[in-house]
Structure 1
Amino acid sequence: MATFLFLIPPGAKSQDEKARIIRDRFSWIAFFVPFIWLLWHRAFLAAALVFAIEALGSVLSEHPVFGLAGLGICLATNLLVALEGPTMIVAGLTRAGWRVDAAISANDRATAEEIYYMDITTGEAETRRTVSLPAAETSPRRHAPMLGLVGFKEGR
């Protein structure tokens, strides 16, 4: 089962027909050509950064001593983009004012769309929402320091 994120544009209502659907999964295309994949998804700053890191890795891979390090840098960059690429796209859209309306687990995209838009006809739009955990600052429980370290916002 895959998770599909439904993002709606700024000012749109829930279940808008202009919702953008992003499948949160590993992308083989992003693994093999991360620079082009990021450009295709309009993540220009990330594409420039990946291009610079890949160029550094390819220069290092030609060096007799640092050859494996250069290949490791290129492989790690490709793997990072393949795993976190959809998350980068969602973060970019969120910065642009879009908001995540739903996160639906389904076998394929058609089933996820059916579940998402089904609420329009049944009127159960408020029953289907993602669960969000409370933020640390809103929690009534104080967090103790971990492993003997000073806790967050505790000070000395």
Structure 2
Amino acid sequence: MASFVVMEPPGRAAEERAVIVRDGFHILAFLLPAIWLLVHRLWLETLAVVLAGFVIGLLGAWWGSGTASIASLMLALFVGLEGSALRLAALRRRGWREWGVVEAGDVRDAEIRYLADIGPGHVTRDTVSDTVPPAPVMTAQRPAPTRSGPVLGMLGYPGRN
């Protein structure tokens, strides 16, 4: 079973437009990093990967192709491993909020579990702030401090003799 992170957009009716992102290695992001990032609308990340590829090419021309091959493999491995984290960070920058994590076999099962968890009376954080008054804050009464003996031999608490 895989882990899926559910992201809800800001505003009402969030469950209709929620995005489910699988947490794990993405083979297409490893094989075609820039294209995978473009498909998922990660513009800044695509620009960074293209620039890093350009710099790797320049360094490969200077130091040799072996170094460039290893560096480009490491870049592709990074995008493959961190692709879902990059996608989640981009959604958070756009104001989306994380609903939670769902364990499922595939995306369809994750969507079914998410919709089953929220149920028909799903209340988002936005609607909670509009409809439900905040709960009163209850403070616990602390008991009066008792005098105790020294701690750790000769050392006591400051202010106590």
Same fold, judged at TM 0.5 (above): yes
2:113 alignment partner in structure 1: 115
Describe how 1:1-156 pairs up with structure 2 within 5 A. Answer: 1-12=1-12, 16-63=15-62, 65-121=63-119
Q: Which runs of 4+ in 1 moved over 6 A?
A: 122-125
2:16 match: secondary structure: coil
Identity of aligned pairs, percent? 36
Q: How many residues align?
A: 123
- Cα–Cα, structure 1 residues 90 and 121, in superposed 2: closer, same or farther, change >3 Å? closer
Deviation sequence 1:43-100 (CA, Å, 0-9, x none): 111111110111222333344x432221111011100000001111111111110001
- The 1-side partners of 2:70 and 2:116 are apart by 46
Give the drift of 1:106.
Answer: 1.1
Query: Which 5+ residue runs of structure 2 have no aligned equivalent?
Result: 124-161
By how many angstroms is 1:122 displaced?
A: 8.0
Which deviations, in whole Å up to 9, do the C-alpha atoms of 1:101-142 show, x marking residues without a partner?
0211111122212211113448799xxxxxxxxxxxxxxxxx
Q: Write the letter of the residue equivalent to 2:6.
A: F
Larger radius of gyration: 2
Q: TM-score, normalised by structure 2?
A: 0.68
1:122 and 1:35 map into 2 onto residues whose CA distance is 39
